[in-house]
Structure 1
């Protein structure tokens, strides 16, 4: 589990104004250890904010380096909190993600870095995603 600053400090660090929607969404991520979909976030924040406001907040958080998109074999976009080294418009999230086949939660395994790939000459990697699938530690018991 990571030590993230309180929501107000988190927003200030990323030059974002404190709004009720931003606070609610950020708290949703801080209170869970899994990646969240738009639908998950709607369930967390209730009917207080409309879909467009939530979408715009997620987009702003991604642009500012607060959230990163997480691959999910279902085709649904999920998001997770970035590590402290992500910057505005430049994500440095080069780690493995794990999707549990039982509970369907997606976890960031930031302690496992992506392997160093040696591509043929002329190829340049712009983005890499690595998704493992199996059973998480909670579902194994």
Structure 2
């Protein structure tokens, strides 16, 4: 992915493209599944932790990232490929491997429709499945 493509994505999400944000988005695009702040620090070693953290917060606020709580104690992120705030029916499930600790996006498995009582307003659903990933299952 080139810088002009990343710049266009940032602008589409209402984010001012800076050198740091473009570089960070280029790094994020290389991850196949979810990633953490620590993963980004390793891959974007020229950026400091506070710049990465501020960019993550901005990207999440502008719906460029989904925040995934997988129970590991480290917040994970995955890129959103929409240019708007995802509706509940557009959200996908995640799988957390209890052996290797990786969290995978299950892009083709959507969050099931949940009926909730009148008066409640749902703004976020985090649907997580835990177990062993195919690579860890094949080791045993």
> In 2 relative to 1, CA 75–10 (structure 1 residues): closer, same or farther, beyond 3 Å?
same
Which residue of structure 2 lines up, in the alignment, with residue 24 of structure 1? 23
* Structure 1: runs of 5 or more not aligned: none
Which residue of structure 2 lines up, in the alignment, with residue 43 of structure 1? 42
- Structure with a larger share of its residues in helix: 2
TM-score calculated relative to the size of structure 1: 0.80
TM-score calculated relative to the size of structure 2: 0.81
* Structure 2: runs of 5 or more not aligned: none
Aligned-residue Cα RMSD (Å) equals: 2.1
1:103 to 2:100 alignment: yes
- Verify the 8 A CA contact 1:22 1:57 in the aligned structure 2: yes
> In 2 relative to 1, CA 135–49 (structure 1 residues): closer, same or farther, beyond 3 Å?
same
How do residues 1-141 of structure 1 correspond to structure 2 at under 5 angstroms? 6-46=5-45, 48-84=46-82, 86-87=83-84, 90-92=85-87, 94-141=91-138
- Verify the 8 A CA contact 1:36 1:79 in the aligned structure 2: yes
Name the SS of the counterpart of 1:80 in structure 2. strand
Structure 1 stretch 54-63 or stretch 14-23: which is displaced more?
Answer: 14-23
Equivalent pairs, count: 133
Distance 1:125 1:109 in 2: 21
> In 2 relative to 1, CA 91–98 (structure 1 residues): closer, same or farther, beyond 3 Å?
same
Name the SS of the counterpart of 1:138 in structure 2. helix
Structure 1 stretch 37-46 or stretch 14-23: which is displaced more?
Answer: 14-23
Q: How far did 1:100 drift?
A: 1.4
